[in-house]
Every structure is written in C-alpha cells, then in structure tokens.
Chains A and B, each alone.
Chain A
Amino acid sequence: MTRPSSVLALLALLLPLVGCKARPVAAAPIRVAYLQNDLHHLPLWVAIEEGFFREEGLDVQVAGVFRSGAELVSAFHAGDLDVAYVGQAPVTVAVARGAADLKVLALVNAGGSAIVVRADSPIRSVGELRGRTIAIPGIGSVQDLLVRKALRAAGIDEASAKVIVLRVPEMESALRSAEIDAFIAWEPHPTRARSSGAGRTLLPSHRIWPGHPCCVLVAANRFLEGRRDAADGVIRAHRRAVAFIRKHPERAGAIAVRYTGFDPAVVREAMAEVTYEDQLSRADEEEVVRSLASIGYIEKVDPARFVDSLLITPRGGAPNR
C-alpha cells in the first residue's frame, strides 16, 4: 500500500533536480572589486549603472570595496576575485613577488592624483618639501611612486623627506591640524581638500610624469583561462564606459556622486583632473617596473619581458601601443 503523502514528499524532493536539468546552467557571476572613493574607477560604476556589462551578457557582481591596492590584490591571491580596478603599481609589485597571478586587460586612467599642501603653507615648490612629512596611501602605491619621482626630480634624496602611510580619508584632517605638511592622493581627495579650504595643489601628478599610467583593469589568470570570452566582454564594456565618460561627463558625474557620496561640484572639478583612457602604453608600463625596482620594492627584472608577461594578449582587440 502506498502512502500518498510519502510519494508527494519524494516528488517534492526530486523536483529541484528536474528543474536544474531542464534549465541551462548559468555561468557564475563575475566577481569585481574596486577602491573606496577612488574617482579613477568611474568606468566600472558607469559600466554597471548604464548596463554595459548586462548588454555583453555578463553578470558582474561587486565582491569587494577595498581601502588600498595592496589589500585588494591580496584578495586575488585568496581566489576571491575575478576582475578588479586597481593601481598599476600594486599589481606590478604583487605579480613580481609571485603574490598574485594576474594579467592587465586595459588602462583605466592616466594622471588624476596631486600633491597637496596646506592652504596657508609657505611651500611653493617640491624642492621645499625637504625635511617635511608627506603622506602617501600605501607603500608601493602609484602615489608612492609619483612622490618619490617628484622628490628625486627636485634633487631631494628620499631620506631627507619623511614619507609616511596614512589612510586617504584621514589625510585632509591631518593636513588641517598640521600633523603632515603634504599629502598625495587620488581624486577626488585633492579637489575636496582644496574646495574645503584645507589645502592647495602643489603639483598635479600629470606634471610629475606627463600621461603617467595610474589605474588598470586586471583579471586573475585562472579566470582568463576558463572564461576568456567573458573577459573580452568585460574589456568591451570597460572601453564603452570610458567613451561614455568622455561623451557624457555630466551623466557620468552623477553616477560618481552616487558611488562616492561626494559633493557634485567637487566631483565635477575632480573629474577634470583625471584622463579616462583605455589604451595601455608599453613604454609607460616598463617605466613603472623600472621605478619600482629602483626603489627596491621589487627585484631587478627585464622590464620588457616582465611587461610581456603582465599584459593580456589581444584577441582581435586594439593592440597595446
């Protein structure tokens, strides 16, 4: 004798299995990360909000918002991320040290940082930073590289300026209370310090190194090996987002305000300091490698060969310059 309730229960248990077989297996979402309140990462926010990833048939999910590039890159090592927007320098350090297995897919922006001093500071040139305290967002960050380049160009050896690490959101108040003499940070922080009356731009980063590469779009090699088509879709969406920002800065700015919570006027002004650009330059990438090695952050390597291993090989896309 069969008991109807048991049969029904059995059927109910089997139902999800049947359902699973009937539906095509959906690809796992692409896990993306970016840095907190870093206006350089606007192309990601635009691609999400304007539906560029969706139109490529990609399910992109934000898996982490990090405070520093080094932290973000560590998450790749743990296998928690597929794709990320992050500084070129921390990526280079991590790959050179074997701490992460990544490829650079595209440039995100050039320039877009600045050395800021107090509004009433007597410091008028980088040369006057000798013996002063300068805050950077992290050891081995793009800004670390830039400030050392600027100091070197002004004839100041690194030992005679005090370069310290400070979290970016705290830089403005530390500058205001005279605990530091200068800071270098990504936009919109320099612009906000200026608009709040706390700071004055001493030197925008594009004058330290014209057209310097800053943030890049990277992917885990594991992800590229398994899902190269999806990665190409991410690159296409990224390129569309960069073009969108150039064409519709107002709409892109509104998205940036939503993601950062910063004042619209500050965001508008800060965006003018950032060059959104998706084309990588080999020469600039090699210069990043040489600079990091000269500071002693990575071992000496052949920059050309290293960059070869770091950049993705295009598949019908625009080749790297």
Chain B
Amino acid sequence: MYALPPVALLCLWQVAAFVAHARGYPTTSPFDVWEGVRSVATVGMPPGHLLPAHVAYSLGRVLLGFGAATLVGVPVGLACASSRAMHRIFQPFIDFLRPIPPLAWVPLAIGWFGIGLRAAAFIIFLGAVFPIAVSTCAGVAEVPTSYLDVARSMKARSHQLWSTVLLPAALPSILTGLRVALGVAWMTLVAAEFTDVREGYGLGYMLMAARDLHRTDVVLAGMALIGIVGWLLDLCLRWLGSLLTRA
C-alpha cells in the first residue's frame, strides 16, 4: 500500500523518459539508472573502481568523523548544561562556529590534514558535532526540576543525579541529536568527496568521475545509492537508540 507512490513515480518517470526519448531528447530512465548501478558494480567508475569499495571508504570516513563528533559533542553538551557559568562559556563558541558551513573549512582542512582520511573526517566532524552538542545541552536543560527535587529529597549525590536522572531523561533528546548529526555528516561527506580524495574511492568521488565522463546514468545511480546508504545508516541508529532507551 505504502509502496504505491514510489512505484507510481518510477512508472511515470519511465513513461516520460520513453516519450522524451522518442522525440529525440536525451533522457535517463529508471532502467538506465539500474544499468548504471550494475555498471559501477561490475565495471566500476572510474573503470576498475568498484562500488563496494566506494561504499566502504565513504562509510569509513563518516564513521570516523561522526564517532569523533559524538565523543566531543556529548561531553561538551553535558558541560554546557552543567551550570550557568559553563553555559556562558560554551554557548558563544557554539553560536559562532555552528553557522559556518563545514565545506567552508575544506581549504583549511586540506592545509592541516592533507587530502586523506583525516581531512574528510575533520569536515564531517564539524558538520556533526554542533547538532550533538546543542541537543545534548537542550536535553539536559529540559529535564523537569521536579525530577531533580525528588532525587535530592532522597539525598542523591551529584554523580547519582547525573547517572540516574539527568542522563536517562535527556537520552531521547541526545539520540535525536545523533540522528540529525548523522544525516548532516553523510551529506557533508559526499560533498567533501567532490573535492579531493587521496584514496581514489568514495561515493562522492564516484559521482564526480561519472560527471567527468558524462555518464548521467551513473550519476543518478550514485545519487540513489547515497540516499539508500544514508537511509540505512539512519535505520541502524534508530535501532541502536531503541535498544538504549529500552535498557
């Protein structure tokens, strides 16, 4: 039932492409895109560079950057929420750095880290760290004071307040932040791979190689694959989140 709209859309696209092709316009149909996927899986883009390696390199970069962003973003968010003074210290930095697009850091990242894995991971880190820090901070700040009052009345110590009240109550907000951050990280990664990639692999790199060779079928196949991998990543994170909140 819910599969109907996408299937209908694909059919419509196929028909439109067929009609346009018959009238002499260059078009790419869903079947061409499927051929594009097959071509990157068997021949590779550029030839010899196969799809699984492109996906693996992209995932490696995004997991490194996103992992680092989680390790930094969550503690910074917690610190930010821990006291008014800390909030005043951290907030201006976050407010200033957050609006700078991660891609604006590309020239600096290449200067500092070169054109390899670390530069890409750094750019992804910048895309992901702020949503994590901000939602962690907001999640803790929004825990109702009545929860804390009850805990305090039961003589809870500071670390017990954090581990039994604040963190569990803020967890849904932190998880939402992580999901948003992973989406941003994935988008940033693909754009970062458009510029310089030393390893010669990555979905963004594959897309640019296809552009250089005017393979519109592979460009569209690349876009579809980026969407699917991004969606699967989100599903994984949601599944991990449901495990954590159930525990």
Contact = CB atoms under 8 A, between A and B. Distances in A.
Interface of A: 68, 70, 73-74, 90, 93-94, 97-100, 133, 138-141, 158-159, 162-167, 170, 173-174, 177, 179-180, 295-297
B211 A70 contact: yes
B47 interface: yes
B197 interface: yes
Contacts of B111: 173
Contact of A179 (B46, B198, B208): B198
Contacts of A139: 46, 208-209, 212-213
A170 B200 contact: no
Nearest to B110: A170
Contacts of B215: 97
Given A93-B213, A174-B115, 15 more contacts: A68-B212, A74-B214, A97-B213, A97-B214, A98-B26, A133-B198, A139-B208, A163-B200, A164-B197, A167-B196, A170-B115, A170-B196, A177-B114, A179-B198, A297-B213
Interface of B: 26, 43, 46-48, 110-111, 114-116, 195-200, 205, 208-209, 211-216
Contacts of A73: 214
Contacts of B114: 174, 177, 179
A295 B115 CA distance: 26
Contact of A296 (B47, B208, B214): B47
Contacts of B43: 296
Where chain B touches its partner, the secondary structure class is loop
Given A139-B46, A296-B47, A162 B200 contact: yes
Contacts of B216: 99
A73 B213 CA distance: 11
A246 B200 CA distance: 40
Contacts of A163: 200
Contacts of B116: 179
